[in-house]
Structures are given as C-alpha cells and as structure tokens.
C-alpha cells in the first residue's frame, strides 16, 4: 500500500486537493453545521473516489480479495457442470449495455463454462440489444479461446425477437415459427445443430442473464412453471435478484445475484477450467469486488454519520 | 466572468493539456484503437476485427512491415467520442449544462432509431414480410431463407393490416383506427399474464410455502432447517395478514400484521443493499472504461502488453 | 363500432391464449395469437420512433425552448436510422457474397456497429451509472433510524452491504470453530452467512407475500379488461 501511495503520488495529490474546500468549510463552519448543510456534490465526489481509487489500485497492483462461493452460486455451477458434452443449453441474454457492469462478467463466465464443457449453445435475446451482447460475448470468449468450436455446429446466435413474454410463450412449444433463420439469416434446415430441435423444452438447461423485464421472471412464468421438467438458472442484476428468491429452488434452482454472484461463479468456473494462470478477462467480477467493498463502506458511513447528526439534533430539540 | 467559472475553465484547460501531453508526448500514449484485417468470403472483403495495442506491438516486433494489425483512426475518434459522451453525462452531477444536454439528446435519438432498426431487420423483415412474400425477402436481404419456415403464410396479412392500423396513430386524423391493434395487444397481454401470474406467482408460491416444519434428514431432526422453514411460513402468513385490509389491524391480527411489517422491512433493507451493490457495479464499469480503454492508466487484462501471437496471427 | 370492435378483439385475443393453456388442441391458436402479438411489438418500435420524431420536429417548428437540442435528437435519430436501414459499411454475408444486402445489419465494423460501440453504449451505460451517485446521496439524506421498522431496514441493509463483500468475512472471521470449539454453533452469525439466511428466509417470505398480492391484482385487472369492465385503454370518444 505504501509503495502504491508513493508511486502514485499524483493521484493522492489530486484526491487531497479536491477535498481541501470541504476541509476548509468544516474548519470554518464546524463539523455538525457542515454535515447538516452538506452539498450533495461532495457526496458524489466521495463516491467517485471510493470507486475510482480501488479500480486504479487493483489495476496497478493486480491484487483482489479472496472469494468464497455461496450455496446458490454452487448450485448454478452444478446445474451446468453436471451436463455432458453435446448437451443443448439455451442462453438467453436479456440485457443491454447499461447493466453490463453487473451482467457482463456473468455472461462471460456462463459462456466460458458451457464452452469448456463442450455443450451445444443456443443463444437468444428478448432485449433488442441482447443480440449485440451475444455477439460481444462470443467475440470475447469463443472466437479467441475456443477455436475448435464451430458456428452452427457448436453454438448459434438465434438473435432477438420482439414481444417479451410472448416470445417465450411461442418458443417453448414452437421455436421455428418465430425463428425462421438464425441472426445471420441462415435457414434452420441448413444449420446442423438445429436438426431435431423444434422447441426449447429440448434444452437441458436454460441460462437467463437478465436485467429486468422481460427476463428471468418471465422465463419462470412462461417456460418453467408450465413445463416443470425445464431447468433454469439465472444471473440477475442487484435490483432484480431479491425479487427472484421466492422461485428458488423449485422454479429456479440456481441464481447469481449482482456482481457478488458473478464473482462467486467466476471463481468456481475459473478454478475448475481456467488453469493456474487464468486469463484475467475471466476475473472481471472478482476485480470489481474491490470498488464494491470501499463504496459499500462509504454508503454505510454516510448513513451512520447522517443518523448521528439526526440523533444529536433530536436530542437538542428535546 | 465569475470566479467559479474562471476556476472551472482553468481546470478544463489543464485537463485538456494533460490529455494532449499524455497522448502525444509519452511513450505509452493513450486512447488509440487498433484493428486486425481478416479476409472473408474467400478474400473478397476484408473485415476489421478489434485488436489490442499489445497484439499490434507483437506483430510489429515479429514483422515490421506487416499490414495485418493496424492503427484505426475512425475507431480512435470513436473511442474519444465515447469518452466525451461519458464525461458529458457525468457532468450532470455538477449541474445541468449544454454538454450534458447534447449527450442526452444524442442518447434519445440514437436509442429510438436503434430499436427501430433492430425491430425492422430482426422481426418485420423475417417474420412479417418474409411470411407474406418470402420470395421478395429471399431475393433481397435474406438469401438463406428456405425450408418449411419459408413457405408463404397468408394469415400474416391480418398482422400486416393490424400493423398499418397501429401506425395510423401517427396520422393527424383517424386515431381510433389504431385502437383495433391496440385492443389486440392489450387482450393478448391480459390473457398471457392472467394465466402466468395465477400459476407461477400465486398457485406455485402457495405450494412453495407448504414446507415441512420439522425437517428429518436421515432419521435425524434438523433444528436449523426446521427453524428456517418455520420462519418462511410464518413470515409469508404475517405479511399476507398485513395486506388484508378487510378487517381492522387490532389485537392478535394487529400483532401479526406488525410482525408482517417487520418481515417486509427486512425485505426492503435487503432490496436496498442489493440495489446499492448493483448501482456501484454500473459505475465501476464506466470508470474502468475511462482508466483502461481511454487513458491507458491501468491494464488489468494485459491488452497493451506486447503479445506473442498465437495461431492465426501473421499467417 | 369504434368501441365494440376493439372490445371483442381484446376478449378474443385474451381468451384464445387462456383456452390454449388448458386445451392442447387449441395450442396452435395460442401460438398464432402470441406470434401476431410479437410482430406488433416490433411495429410498436416504429411507432415509438415515429412519435419521437413527430414531437421533436414540432418543437423545432415551434421554436420551443431548447429546440436546438431537439435538432440534435432529430439528426442523431435520422443518422442512426439511415445507417441501420441502408446497412452502411456492411459487407455481404460470406455465405451469399452476390447478394449486396445479405450482410448482418450490426456487422462488426459497420456504421451501425460503430454507433453502438461508441455512442449507444457509453451514453446509456453512463446514464445508468449516475444512479450510483444518487443512491449515495439518498442514503445520506433519507435514511433515519426513527423507529423499529427503520432500524430493521437499515440493519438489514448494513448486513447485506458488509456481508456481500470481503468486509463481512474480515469482520466476523473470528467466529471460527478453530478459535473456540463452541463457535461451531454460531457460524451462522458470520456476516456472509447471515446475508444468505436473510435472503433465503426473510427476503423470500416478504417477497413471496408481495408476489402473491401482485398476482391476485394482475389476475383481477386482466379479467376486468377481458370482460370489458375496464375500458380505460380505449380512450373516451
């Protein structure tokens, strides 16, 4: 840490300089008065530093926190890991760039896991930008690191269809009426891995990477509930994850919640398939847990400080 | 000019000068994009795949005259544009300003058109035009369309009519015409949701709550799991009692409802914690973009380390 | 007719899907209705874009306040629409090189992809990242431990915030049977474990009750729409 501070003196100088006006105000008006009338932009600045400095620290030093996978992350991992090579799985990428910070690492880890297991991957999207997210993940994982996997034989991007839950309602019994071609415009009959696939009940597992509506909830309601033999695991945003717990485990055997869930699953996948020197691109969530820690501590401190001021003021009024 | 404005102007000038200095006068530089030329369709076209500075360095070291890995000016401009947009949106935190407003306007325009284009190419062309007139779509944009899915389906003419009626909403007169397709959308949504919520969120949730209150695992009583199940069952019932407003919340009912409120408060606390977690991750990725992709201050994935090119490079 | 026709269509569309759920014979009808619905959803994208264009063109022609920004909206909208529909910079697909329009509209390197990569992504992602700042500000301004309920909410939030990071492990790692054998009964109190129990017990119970309530609400609302009791979506005239 000391070495970091000495080497990155310029960053330390910028952080200190940016906070000088706040310190001066505390000195002149007093701590309590400053806190009572604190301009919210100071909170913005504190949060900026709380997130930016750990990112920079981890980026420079490469150090991350150890991660212990929780029961649900392990359950998610096991659902995919128990499959055999060649088993078909559906990967529904129902998210777009705004939630990539949370869901990008999950999507990467799911694809890395499935590709390592040599599963047949069927990608589709209920969000308009989902097809692009699929392209990006394929370009990040499969194209550079799994060159033996062939498009159309081992993986396929079916692309986006509009209609939210209406799409699930159709593909669960009749995939081909809606998906007449893949996202490249190739007819279903010309795609080797589509042979014999008529609906998504034939998938061994459905993986839902979900940012909201339509997403995991709709997959539970329109696919898993009416067809209980389907197995669904999900990677969901922090906002969505708590709402999905009532479905666990009967309708949703595996759930990764927010960046922590991503980091746990990443750890399981990389430990199992990444080797001793895993590519750092597969440890994105693990790195992001650093800023997460500092920012959480800041938020707790802010709440505590605000409550101390509140209690002091209430005591004085009485 | 106000003193505050002078200060911010000076800060902006210093910042811009620092960026200029870093990009032009330091060995590492910053904010450059590289591409790799990949021949496609038997060499008829060249596709420019994204490449890293590390790959470019590796290629140059191996063969200085190589043309496979190249600096890309358009994408470098794009990267700087992306950085500008990022900073412009962040500038709203300090206060509303023209940079933010321009970025916001671009966001609205690009997003709406983006959705339209996706809807057109991914759904309207293959699923509407392609179903009514597959020969046209095959000759034009989807030559691969074939097989049983490419047979003409006259019933889709009804959807075409409904689509035109829906778009009639944009016309100055006859807005009621759009009600017919709208009624269809509302009706199907209601039909879909009625069953899905009744089954998945009502019936199965009741089933999920019928849990053994005394868990016996391998002939041994498991007190911890039993307690968990008991808390879930009692928690759900207490919350449901709180949601009942048909009778007054007094006496035993009041106490139960109070317990329900406590369970709900814990639920909301958990939701708040998870929401904070999510929001921080969204901020982190944008700051990573600025520090890594644009400023080249950090390199966690080793993209700017001269790469030894594996198979496929400099072939 | 202006009201009756749409009411009949609403009922027909909805009940076809309900019947299809229970009678396998009617499954095809349900699929057909859902497919029509899916296509109309794509048409709604066009409607949305058209409405946006109409609104901003009117603002420009009225010289309304901030009309210059409406100009930026219109230009960026039309530019994106043009490069996307005309497939600017898209090579024909490798499979069908003789068909000029056969390439994928979002092909890497195309103008549309460029807009995704360098405009759409930074703009939308940064816009959402602003929420982190506002939630921090709200945490400072809004959360006060005024009563038991608020303490429960805040306490849970603290446990989750700590337990879902390494702070939780660091703060309560001393509850370890290796430190004292008696701790074997208390490992559930470690913050990372408490987080798991809060989520799987109390959060599940609370959200399940909310879910049941919402489900009943949606069923009632849907029935009112399908039976023509709620006609608000049809407007007045």
pLDDT tens, chain B, 315 aa long: 678 788 888 988 999 999 999 888 888 899 999 999 988 888 888 888 999 999 999 999 999 889 999 999 999 999 999 999 999 999 999 999 999 999 999 999 999 999 999 999 999 999 999 999 999 999 999 998 888 888 899 999 999 999 999 999 999 888 889 999 999 999 999 999 999 999 999 999 999 999 999 999 888 999 889 999 999 999 999 999 999 888 888 899 999 999 999 999 999 999 999 999 999 999 999 999 999 999 999 999 999 987 655 444 343
Note whether residue C232 is domain-resident: no
C41 and C58 housed in the same domain: yes
C130 touches chain B (CB under 8 A): yes
Note whether residue C123 is domain-resident: yes
Tens digits of residue pLDDT in B20-33? 998 888 888 999 99
**Would you call B300 and A287 a contact, using CB atoms and an 8 Å cutoff?**
yes
Q: In this complex, which of B119, B144, B196 lies closest to A187 when CB atoms are compared?
A: B144
C126 and C167 housed in the same domain: no
Chain C residues with CB-CB distance to A242 below 8 A: 199, 203, 207
> What is the least distance, in Å, from the CA of B85 to any CA of chain A?
14
> What is the least distance, in Å, from the CA of B55 to any CA of chain C?
18
Note whether residue C168 is domain-resident: yes
Chain A residues with CB-CB distance to C21 below 8 A: 226
Note whether residue C158 is domain-resident: yes
C161 and C190 housed in the same domain: yes
> How do beta strands A88-94 and A120-125 pair?
parallel
> CB-based contacts of B139: which residues, under 8 Å, 6+ apart?
none
List Cα–Cα distances, B91 to B64, B88, B101, B156, C126, in angstroms.
43, 5, 10, 49, 11
Q: In this complex, which of C108, C116, C165 lies closest to A292 when CB atoms are compared?
A: C165
Q: What is the pLDDT of residue B45?
A: 84
Note whether residue C236 is domain-resident: no
Scan for tokens 């690492």, then name that residue.
A105
Tell which of B104, B132, B245, B267 to mutate to test the C interface (max C CBs under 10 Å): B267
Q: What is the pLDDT of residue B152?
A: 92
C12 and C64 housed in the same domain: yes
Q: What is the pLDDT of residue A85?
A: 97
Tell me the two tokens of residue A8. 């990155």
Chain C residues with CB-CB distance to B180 below 8 A: 5-6, 9
Tell me the two tokens of residue B237. 């019932």
**Would you call C125 and A98 a contact, using CB atoms and an 8 Å cutoff?**
yes
- Provide φ and ψ at A170, rounded to 5°: -80, -50
C108 and C69 housed in the same domain: no
Last residue of a domain, one of C78, C96, C113: C78
**Would you call C119 and B194 a contact, using CB atoms and an 8 Å cutoff?**
no
Q: In this complex, which of A68, A101, A163 lies closest to C38 when CB atoms are compared?
A: A163
Looking at the predicted structure, is the pLDDT value of residue A148 above 70? yes
Note whether residue C133 is domain-resident: yes
**Would you call B142 and A183 a contact, using CB atoms and an 8 Å cutoff?**
no
**Would you call B127 and A161 a contact, using CB atoms and an 8 Å cutoff?**
yes
Q: In this complex, which of B122, B145, B297 lies closest to A187 when CB atoms are compared?
A: B145
Q: What is the pLDDT of residue B217?
A: 86
Q: What is the pLDDT of residue B311?
A: 44
Q: Could you tell me how many CB contacts below 8 A there are between chain A and chain B? A: 192
Note whether residue C70 is domain-resident: yes
Q: What is the pLDDT of residue A226?
A: 95
Q: What is the pLDDT of residue C180?
A: 87
C129 and C165 housed in the same domain: no
Tens digits of residue pLDDT in A155-202? 999 999 999 999 999 999 999 999 999 999 999 999 999 999 999 999
Note whether residue C233 is domain-resident: no
Q: What is the pLDDT of residue C14?
A: 94
Interface of B with C in 55-114 (CB under 8 A): 74-75, 78-79, 81-83, 85-86, 89-90, 92-93, 101-114
Looking at the predicted structure, is the pLDDT value of residue A228 above 90? yes
Tell me the two tokens of residue C49. 């874009």
Residue B152, class by beta-carbon neighbours within 10 Å (0-12 exposed, 13-18 middle, 19+ buried)? exposed
Q: What is the pLDDT of residue B308?
A: 58
C12 and C28 housed in the same domain: yes
C217 and C151 housed in the same domain: yes
Last residue of a domain, one of C140, C156, C182: C140
> What is the least distance, in Å, from the CA of C236 to any CA of chain A?
27
Q: What is the pLDDT of residue C236?
A: 67
Chains that touch B (3 or more CB pairs under 8 A): A, C
Q: What is the extent of the structural domain holding C62? A: 1-78
Chain B residues with CB-CB distance to C213 below 8 A: 240, 243
**Would you call C44 and B167 a contact, using CB atoms and an 8 Å cutoff?**
no
> What is the least distance, in Å, from the CA of A21 to any CA of chain B?
13
Last residue of a domain, one of C33, C57, C78: C78
Rounded Cα–Cα distance for residues A96 and C122 (Å)? 12
**Would you call C50 and B243 a contact, using CB atoms and an 8 Å cutoff?**
no
The number of folded domains in chain C is 3
Max CA pair span of chain C? 80
Positions in chain C whose pLDDT score sits under 70? 1, 236-237
C107 and C136 housed in the same domain: yes
Tens digits of residue pLDDT in A81-117? 999 999 999 999 999 999 999 999 999 999 999 999 9
Rounded Cα–Cα distance for residues B175 and B188 (Å)? 21
A295 touches chain B (CB under 8 A): yes
C194 and C150 housed in the same domain: yes
Rounded Cα–Cα distance for residues C213 and A32 (Å)? 44
C157 and C131 housed in the same domain: no
Tens digits of residue pLDDT in A19-30? 999 999 999 999
Interface of C with B in 150-189 (CB under 8 A): 150, 152-161, 164, 188
Full DSSP string of A146-198: -TT--BTTTEEEEEE-SSTHHHHHHHTT-HHHH-SB-TT--BGGG-GGGTT--
């Amino acid at each position: 840490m000391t070495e970091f501070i000495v080497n990155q003196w310029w960053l330390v100088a910028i952080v200190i300089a940016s906070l000088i006006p706040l310190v001066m105000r505390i000195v002149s008006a007093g701590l309590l008065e400053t806190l009572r009338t604190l301009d919210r932009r100071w909170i913005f600045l504190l949060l900026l530093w709380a997130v930016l400095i750990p990112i920079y620290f981890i980026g420079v030093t490469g150090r991350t926190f150890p991660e212990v996978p929780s029961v649900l992350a392990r359950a998610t991992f096991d659902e995919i890991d128990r499959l055999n090579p060649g088993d078909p799985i559906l990967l529904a990428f129902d998210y777009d760039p705004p939630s990539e910070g949370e869901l990008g690492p999950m999507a990467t880890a799911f694809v890395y896991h499935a590709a390592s297991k040599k599963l047949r991957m069927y990608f589709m999207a209920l969000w308009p930008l989902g097809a692009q997210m699929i392209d990006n993940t394929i370009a990040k994982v499969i194209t550079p690191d799994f060159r033996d996997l062939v498009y159309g034989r081992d993986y396929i991007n079916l692309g986006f269809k509009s209609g939210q839950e209406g799409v699930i309602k159709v593909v669960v019994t009749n995939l081909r009426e809606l998906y007449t071609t893949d996202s490249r415009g190739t007819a279903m009959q010309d795609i080797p891995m589509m042979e014999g696939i008529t609906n998504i009940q034939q998938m061994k597992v459905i993986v839902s990477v979900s940012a909201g509506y339509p997403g995991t909830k709709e997959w539970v309601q329109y696919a898993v509930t009416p067809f209980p033999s389907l197995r669904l695991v999900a990677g969901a945003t922090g906002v969505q994850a708590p709402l999905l717990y009532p479905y666990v485990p009967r309708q949703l055997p595996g759930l990764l919640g927010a960046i922590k869930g991503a980091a746990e699953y990443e750890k399981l996948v990389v430990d199992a398939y990444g080797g001793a020197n895993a590519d750092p691109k597969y440890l994105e969530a693990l790195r992001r847990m650093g800023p997460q820690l500092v920012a959480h501590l800041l938020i707790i401190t802010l709440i505590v400080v605000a409550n101390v001021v509140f209690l002091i003021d209430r005591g004085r009024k009485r | 000019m106000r003193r505050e404005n002078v200060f911010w102007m000076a800060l902006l000038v210093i910042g811009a000068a620092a960026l200029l200095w870093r990009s032009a006068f330091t060995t590492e530089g910053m904010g450059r994009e590289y591409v790799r030329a990949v021949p496609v369709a038997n060499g008829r076209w060249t596709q420019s795949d994204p490449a890293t500075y590390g790959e470019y360095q590796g290629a140059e070291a191996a063969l200085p005259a190589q043309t496979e890995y190249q600096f890309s000016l358009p994408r470098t401009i794009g990267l700087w544009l992306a950085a500008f947009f990022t900073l412009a949106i962040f500038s709203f935190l300090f206060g509303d300003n023209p940079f933010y407003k321009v970025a916001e306007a671009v966001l609205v325009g690009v997003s709406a058109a983006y959705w339209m284009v996706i809807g057109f190419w991914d759904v309207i062309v293959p699923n509407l035009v392609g179903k009514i007139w597959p020969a046209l779509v095959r000759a034009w944009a989807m030559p691969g369309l074939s097989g049983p899915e490419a047979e003409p389906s006259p019933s889709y003419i009804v959807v075409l009519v409904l689509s035109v009626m829906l778009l009639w909403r944009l016309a100055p007169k006859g807005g009621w015409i759009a009600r017919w397709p709208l009624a269809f959308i509302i009706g199907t949504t209601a039909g879909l949701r009625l069953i899905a919520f009744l089954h998945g969120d009502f019936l199965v949730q009741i089933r999920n709550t019928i849990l053994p209150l005394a868990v016996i695992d391998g002939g041994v009583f498991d007190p911890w799991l039993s307690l968990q199940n008991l808390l879930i069952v009692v928690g759900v019932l207490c919350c449901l009692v709180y949601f009942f407003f048909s009778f007054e919340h007094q006496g035993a009912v009041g106490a139960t409802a109070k317990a329900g409120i406590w369970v709900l408060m814990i639920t909301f606390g958990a939701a708040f914690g998870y929401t904070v977690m999510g929001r921080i991750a969204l901020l982190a990725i944008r700051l990573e973009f600025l520090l890594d992709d644009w400023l080249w201050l950090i390199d966690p994935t080793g993209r700017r380390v001269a790469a030894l090119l594996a198979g496929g490079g400099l072939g | 007719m202006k009201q009756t026709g749409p009411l009949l269509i609403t009922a027909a569309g909805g009940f076809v899907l309900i019947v299809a759920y229970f009678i396998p014979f009617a499954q095809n009808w349900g699929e057909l209705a859902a497919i029509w619905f899916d296509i109309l959803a794509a048409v709604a994208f066009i409607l949305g874009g058209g409405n946006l264009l109409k609104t901003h063109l009117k603002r420009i022609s009225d010289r309304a306040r901030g009309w210059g920004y409406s100009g930026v909206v219109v230009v960026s909208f039309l530019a994106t629409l043009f490069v996307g529909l005309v497939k600017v910079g898209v090579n024909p697909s490798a499979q069908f090189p003789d068909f000029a329009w056969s390439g994928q509209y979002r092909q890497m390197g195309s103008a549309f992809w460029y807009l995704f990569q360098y405009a759409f992504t930074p703009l939308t992602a940064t816009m959402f990242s602003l929420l982190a700042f506002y939630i921090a500000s709200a945490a400072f301004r809004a959360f006060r431990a005024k009563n038991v309920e608020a303490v429960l909410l805040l306490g849970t939030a603290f446990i989750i915030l700590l337990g879902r990071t390494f702070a939780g492990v660091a703060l309560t790692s001393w509850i370890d049977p290796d430190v004292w054998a008696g701790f074997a009964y208390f490992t559930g109190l470690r913050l990372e474990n408490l987080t798991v129990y809060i989520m799987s017990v109390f959060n599940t119970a609370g959200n399940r009750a909310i879910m049941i309530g919402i489900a009943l609400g949606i069923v009632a609302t849907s029935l009112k729409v399908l039976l023509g009791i709620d006609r608000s979506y049809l407007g007045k005239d």
